[in-house]
Amino acid sequence: MQQSEIRDVRALSRLWFILALATLYVSAQGVDVVDAGNRQRVDTHWFRGNSYFRIGWDWIKTSFLKGWTLIQTVRFTSNKDPEPAMASRKQHDEQLYQIEFQVQTFVYNAT
């Protein structure tokens, strides 16, 4: 963002919007690759070791060379992760799942 040297609020807003759409598309491509059973074509781990974004990004880059198909529609059918990513089997087996963050909601009454 600093290297773009954009100072106009509207231009920055448009840039952030494009980045958000690109992130959404690449992540949806990664989910589609995993759902279709093609994950190991771009993620060489025995288990899912890369994020959906990384899987989607690698699929998109390779599709330009090998002619693989890309998704035409962005859709997420569930908020459940069917195949969670693991950094390593050893770390996964040794650690219990821990909450990494908590969401807190505050409501302020206007008086």
Q: Is residue 77 part of a domain?
A: yes
Given a cut of 60, is residue 97 above it in pLDDT? Answer: no
| pTM as predicted | 0.69
pLDDT, one tens digit per residue, over 39-59 is 889 987 777 778 889 999 999
Residue with structure tokens 């035409």? 72
Task: Please give the average per-residue pLDDT across 65-94, as a whole number.
Answer: 77
Burial label, 31 (beta-carbon count in 10 A; 0-12, 13-18, 19+)? buried
Q: Is residue 1 part of a domain?
A: no
Model pLDDT, residue 4: 76
Q: Is residue 16 part of a domain?
A: yes
Residue type, 35: D
Least Cα distance to 28 among 98, 76, 87, 67 occurs for 76
Q: Is residue 79 part of a domain?
A: yes
Q: Is residue 4 part of a domain?
A: no
Structural domain boundaries enclosing 61: 9-94
Number of separate domains in the chain: 1
Given a cut of 70, is residue 18 above it in pLDDT? Answer: yes
